[in-house]
Amino acid sequence: MSATARTRAERVEVRRSREAILAAAEAHYAVHDADPTMVELAQRSGIGIATLYRRYPGIDEVVRALHARLIAEFGRVEERVAAQRTGWDAVVALVTGIVDVLQEHPAIPRLNRKMVALDDDRQLSAGWAERLDAVVRAAQAEGTLRPDVNANDVTFAAFRIGGYSNLPPDEADRILGRQIGIVLDGLRSGDGRHPLPGGPIGRDELHDVFRHEVEHPVD
């Protein structure tokens, strides 16, 4: 094998092993708050412990790398928001986009909390705070968004909804859709109100949700 081919193969192996490690870490943090040991992470990723330490010296470095990768997913939300024609449509795209990303990657809220502990000066919205403020100002200027909220109010509400990651699969869309509707109606300026998506959650359905959480616990 030539030196060039060997170098290319090594780069492929490094990329493959990093992908496996981060995928295993994301699967872990999707359901666990406690950190895995390096041995557990190596076993789960199918990577030798020595290779794991070569890629990431410790769990903190894994958390930082995974957090950066998952936060990059919010670039899709920015694109969706930027494509809207009105300020209100941009607010709707922001809320629904955040919920979609969190539902696809339920590890994000746990990783956010860990990043606060690791790097207290880092903020999730630091890279796009100005753009979100502009979206809020545009919606308020057109009179569709209530004037007493800011971008943090909007994103916090979206994160709280998106953070629900242990709902019954056959009811998740309806429940999440209804909560999104409630939040958006609360954010809308004036007296205009729209029908909430889905039907009310009945007593028996609520019991089923609680039972699902008991039968599918999240550590």
pLDDT, position 122: 52
DSSP string, 24-78: HHHHHHTT-SSPPPHHHHHHHHT--HHHHHHH-SSHHHHHHHHHHHHHGGGHHHH
Q: What is the CATH number of domain 72-215?
A: 1.10.357.10
* The predicted structure's pLDDT at residue 111: 92
Element (H, E) at 175: helix 172-187
What class does CATH assign to 3-57? mainly alpha
pLDDT in tens, 182-215: 999 999 987 766 666 776 666 677 567 656 755 7
**What are the tens digits of pLDDT across the range 76-104?**
999 999 999 999 999 999 999 999 999 99
Domain ranges of the chain: 3-57, 72-215
Predicted local confidence at residue 219, as pLDDT: 54
> pTM above the 0.85 mark?
no
